[in-house]
Chain A
Amino acid sequence: MTVLFLIVVVVLGLWIIGAYNRLIALKNQVVNGWKQIDVQLKRRHDLIPNLVNTVKGSMNFEKETLEAVISARNKAVNASGVKETAAAEGQLTQALGRFFALSEAYPELKSNQNVLQLQEELTGTENKIGFSRQAYNDIATTYNTVQMQFPTNLVAGLAKAVPADLWEIEDAAERNVPQVDLGFGGKPTA
């Protein structure tokens, strides 16, 4: 009888350890997934002042647009948490989109190597954010599912597991991989 009891206790203990470790591993993957996005966001924030400085001289008449980009950028820098960041970054993407649409009217920008380099960097960064976001949302969904499922949810409190926020995309057009199209490829001017 005591042997049976011991076996039950050992099996239960092993299961708790397994479930606990699985939750911790997933939690760390979620944190890491977020860090991957964060690296790219920081890169984007660093690129924008460069871009603004480069084009400032050529785009005197578009001060408002430039200011909108800068203020959206500053808001995004100060954002914290998944939801706030997602919203601020979404606005930054839109401000950049307007800026790039307007920049098409300036032929000197289209042949400026610095601008082209920055454009490429921003496109790359934006795409990386998009793909990192997918990875983050996938792992966060797995984490959330596991901690809610029975019987793992009994251990969730022990592992201090709380559901992770997903990076929701409000803009329908942004639902696909975001594309920064500056129109320098020769598309008709908006």
Chain B
Amino acid sequence: MTGTNLWDQQASNRRRSALLVAGFVLFFAWVGFGGDLAFWLATKDLPPQEYHHTIPWLGLLITGLAGGMVWFAWAKGADRVLWAAGAREVIEPRGLEEKTLVNVVEEMAISARLPKPRIWIVPDPDPNAFATGIDAAHAHIAVTEGLLHALDRDELQGVVAHEFGHIRNLDVRLMTLLAAIVGAVALISDGLGRFLRGGGRISGGSSKGSGKGGNPLALVVLVLWVITLILAPFITRLLAMAVSRKREYLADATSAELTRNPAALATALEKLDAHSAPTRAIAKGAAHLCIVDPLERRINEKEGIIGDIFASHPPISQRVTRLQGMAYMYAKKAGQQVGGPVGPGEA
């Protein structure tokens, strides 16, 4: 919670964001130029009148596409995440609940000494919240309607402060880029896989026609290429969950620091946990952005194997215990008489 710790966090998030972007572009370069290489190796021994793949147009095209996608993720990633969740922006608060939300966000902006982020409401009855954006000056906080109904003012403050933790640490940058990139990789891998199956039949036919066994090196490159394509979505998924888990504890700690009321966030998390219905409005690719897992740990029908380890969030009971410990320390520091750890009932 000290300055250096925060600075380290920000530096680490900047570094990881840059690595993610570099890895993403390199992956696409490999997909493109690797394909070119395989194609070139396969066609270079053919007679002169046949097609020779000498210009790596596939690599140039796909790498350019990846660059474009990175730019898109950077400039529009937050908008896409909010759009996918069906969020609407709160500009003029309507009603008491929205007014409270705006006030709480303004309070936490003062406490965190950050500019006020834009505020969004997701029309979903399940309580959840997330933050997105590239930096503190271009940040968004979104909460579901269910969250506004379920929590009291102090609890809402705890949740909003948690999101400010993600904004201040620059977690939002990494997580927003990741959300955009996880989606893109899954899409591209799927599409290229289909293209490849079609392409395999064509090349098989042509090699039979030319009467040659094909270049073994081309086969090796092709196999490597296919393996990367298959593994890419899993790697990005694993990356997404690995970056999320530790961050939740850190953002909880920041929330306690900003509100000085960790017990309220503890009860808020318990309430969020009690609502076991999944947050339908939040897309799978953005799950790691949320304060509690919107998928509620249900095993997804498409990723049967990965479903079990798709734990993007630490167990809520663990988080609540840590927050209650903090509440106890705060109470002790304030010189109050405390008989035992502060329970949720005393919040």
Which A residues are within 8 Å of any B CB, using their own CB? 36, 113, 116-117, 120-121, 123-124, 127-128, 131-132, 134-135, 175-177, 179, 185
B106 and A124 form a contact (CB under 8 A): yes
Name the CB-closest residue of B to A138.
Answer: B113
User: Chain A nearest CB: distance from B256 CB in Å?
Assistant: 12
Q: What is the minimal beta-carbon distance from B163 to any residue of chain A, in angstroms?
A: 16
Shortest CB–CB separation between residue A113 and chain B, in angstroms? 7
Task: Name the one of A36, A117, A177 contacting B99, with C-beta atoms under 8 angstroms.
Answer: A117
Task: Find out whether the CB atom of A123 lies under 8 angstroms from the CB atom of B153.
Answer: yes
List residues 151-189 of chain B with CB under 8 A from any CB of chain A: 152-154, 157
How distant is the Cα of A185 from the Cα of B106 in the complex, in angstroms?
22
Contact A124 B111, beta carbon cutoff 8 Å? no
* Candidates A123, A134, A175; contact of B111 at CB < 8 Å: A134
Flag if B103 contacts A120 (CB, 8 Å): yes
Q: Is the CB of B104 within 8 A of A124?
A: yes
Across-interface contacts of A36 in B (CB, < 8 A):
110
* A120–B107 CB distance below 8 A: no
* List of A residues within 8 angstroms of B91 by Cβ: none
Of the four ranges (under 10, 10 to 19, 20 to 34, 35 or more), the interface on chain B belongs to 10 to 19
Q: How far is the CB of A73 from chain B (nearest CB, A)?
A: 20
Within 8 A of A (CB), among B73-128: 96, 99-100, 103-104, 106-108, 110-111, 113
- Check if B244 is an interface residue, CB within 8 A of chain A: no
- Contacts A124-B103, A131-B107, A135-B113 hold; do A117 and B96 have CB atoms under 8 A apart? yes
Which residues does chain A contribute within 8 Å of B106, judged by CB atoms? 124, 128
Can you report 5 residue pairs joining A to B where beta carbons are below 8 Å apart? A117-B99, A127-B107, A127-B157, A128-B110, A175-B334
Distance in angstroms from A31 CB to nearest chain B CB is: 16
List residues of B (5-50) whose CB comes within 8 Å of A's CBs: none
B255 at the interface (CB under 8 A from A): no
Chain A residues closer than 8 Å to B108, beta-carbon distance? 131
Q: Is B254 an interface residue (CB 8 A)?
A: no
> Which interface residue of A117, A121, A131 has the most chain B CB atoms within 10 A?
A131
> Is B259 interfacial (CB-CB < 8 Å)?
yes
Cβ contact within 8 Å between A123 and B110: no
Could you say which residues of chain B place their CB within 8 Å of the CB of A128? 103, 106-107, 110
**Complex contacts, A176 vs chain B, CB 8 Å:** 260, 334
Residues of B close to A121: CB separation below 8 A:
99, 103
Identify the interface centre among A113, A117, A120, A121: most chain B CB within 10 Å of its CB.
Answer: A120
Which residue of B is nearest A127, CB measured? B107
Is A177's CB under 8 angstroms from B259's CB? yes
Q: How far is the CA of A136 from the CA of B157 in the complex (A)?
A: 21
* Docked complex Cα distance between A124 and B99 (Å): 9
Task: Determine whether the beta carbon of B110 is less than 8 Å from that of A135.
Answer: yes
**B261 contacts the other chain (CB 8 A):** yes
B113–A177 CB distance below 8 A: no
A110 to B200, CA, bound (A): 73
Are B100 and A120 interface neighbours, CB within 8 A?
Answer: yes
With contacts A121-B103, A128-B106 known, is A177 near B96, CB below 8 A? no
